[in-house]
Copies of this chain bind each other. A is one copy, B any other.
Amino acid sequence: MVRSEETKSFRFNHTMYRVKDPQKSLQFYQEVLGMELIDKAEFSSFTLYFLAFDHSGGSDDVSAKKLQRFKREGVLELTHNHGTESDASFAGYASGNDEPGKGYGHIAITVDDVQAACARFEKLGVPFKKRLTDGMMKNIAFIKDPDGYWVEILPNTYEV
């Protein structure tokens, strides 16, 4: 399909959700999933964290990555409203998969080896919504991030 001139430059740059405790979330997205923190923007009442998978092959050029933040796809923006991490009355955010508030579903990570990826998540103590062995689809798993958001793990080959 030839894209129209009007939308030719458009890119699906990022997906945003709110997180209660950025330390827990950063640990999850960086250490468990292997994303990189490419940018951070602090405001008086909230902070934005931008994460993405590095496809440069291991470049350490941080400013180049920051500049590329708007030129690429696959960025995850985490919004931290200051104070939620230590507010005992804060109920937490909805994952989007339960009533009320159902609508948003999940993000998904494709991987070379879904068995190895899930074995590692088990070893790291990551909670699962659906293990590979659960349900009908044996090549797809769902893990949960620190806020309970679902992250689908699936092979990067066409098997579904």
A residues whose Cβ falls under 8 Å from a Cβ of B: 1-4, 6-18, 33-36, 41, 52-55, 58, 60, 66-67, 69-77, 79, 93-96, 100-113, 116-117, 120, 147, 149, 152, 154-158, 160
Q: Are A1 and B54 in contact (CB under 8 A)?
A: yes
Question: A4 CA to B73 CA in the complex, in Å?
Answer: 21
Q: In the complex the two chains form, what is the Cα distance from A1 to B34 in whole Å? A: 10
Copies of this chain present in the complex amount to 2
CB-CB under 8 A for A79 and B54, given A73-B74, A110-B13: no
Whether B1 and A36, one on each chain, are in contact in the complex, defined by CB atoms closer than 8 angstroms, is yes
Q: Which residues of B contact A60 (CB under 8 A)?
A: 1
A62 to chain B, nearest CB (A): 9
